[in-house]
Amino acid sequence: MTKINHTQFIELYNKGLNDTEIAKKLKVSNVAVTYHRQKNKMEKNFTYKTTLNEDVFMKLYKQGFSDRKMAKILGVSRHSVEYMRTKLKLGKSYKILSLSPFQRSLLIGTLLGDSHLRVDNINAWGDFAHSVVQKDYAIHKYEMLKDICSLPKEEFPFDKRTGLVYPRIHVRFLSHPYLTSIYNILYYKKKKVITKEVLSELNEISLAYLFMDDGVKAPNGYYICTNGFDRNSVELFSAFLFDKFGIKNTIDKRNTTYIHKESRQIFANLVEPYIIKSMKYKL
């Protein structure tokens, strides 16, 4: 049986680490740690005993740090932090998030486009991905929304249908109550919908990001690929474009919104200030 330094073992045990975590720190097997603990007549760290100072813990908690981040700062296991939080009857801590009006408009626009949300057991999270051809745009969206995003990753998914690899930039939205509030107005039965509540927040910025995500230049107008929505949603969107901005448009058989030639310049003038350089080709 591997010999374990008892002093090191006690130090880790008192921090609330369980057998698996201690084994990882000491670079020994779980069996060796369990044997050493039992030999010294010590109980399992089921309750994750911890020497955490409650005042220090609360100071970090109120700053919105996650369990994992607090554990790293305090030099203890995540389980110790969870134990302290449970003991104090506190819910999970989330970074206080307050997006600017511009960021919220951007988020609404891209969620109507290529970005998506899902709900885990507690809150909404999501992602967006763009071809490496649109890398500048993907990075731009990340930079604008990085308070709620993980770092961009370059991925190489294989498409079984075509037998080809399509390199892409993938960014995840972190699970957060703020996203849950948006999910609740944008999704119905796990499917995106456009409602009057959503449209009340839609502005030129939102339209610009929706267009950069799902817009297509046509010979005499523009298409916005709304075909992923149900007919009622697209009809509401179509009426909104005309009622608020005077943009004449029609819906084709595929549920795609087509902006007419006579309204092409009106639309371009609305969104152009927010279209980034690499996406100007769409105009």
Total domains, the chain: 2
pLDDT in tens, the chain (283 residues): 678 898 998 988 888 888 888 888 898 988 888 888 888 888 877 544 556 788 888 888 777 778 888 888 888 888 888 888 877 777 776 666 789 999 999 999 999 999 999 997 678 999 999 999 999 999 999 999 998 898 999 999 888 899 999 999 999 998 888 999 999 999 999 999 999 999 999 999 999 999 999 999 999 999 999 999 999 999 999 999 999 999 999 999 999 999 999 999 999 999 999 999 999 999 9
The helices-and-strands tally (H runs, E runs) of the chain is 13, 12
pTM of the model: 0.71
Whether 178 maps to a domain, the answer reads yes
Q: Does residue 68 share a domain with residue 41?
A: yes
Q: Range of 214's domain?
A: 101-282
Between CA 170 and CA 154 the distance in angstroms is 6
Q: Does residue 174 share a domain with residue 81?
A: no
Between CA 62 and CA 70 the distance in angstroms is 11
Which of 65, 87, 109 terminates a domain? The answer is 87
Q: Does residue 276 share a domain with residue 142?
A: yes
- Consecutive H or E run containing 216: strand 215-217
Q: What CATH number is given to the structural domain containing 180?
A: 3.10.28.10
Whether 277 maps to a domain, the answer reads yes
Q: Does residue 111 share a domain with residue 63?
A: no
Q: Does residue 143 share a domain with residue 265?
A: yes
DSSP state of 185: H
Facing residues of 169 across strands? Answer: 130, 154
DSSP state of 77: -
Whether the CB-CB separation of 61 and 90 falls below 8 Å is answered with yes
Whether the CB-CB separation of 217 and 209 falls below 8 Å is answered with no
Whether 110 maps to a domain, the answer reads yes
Q: Does residue 253 share a domain with residue 184?
A: yes
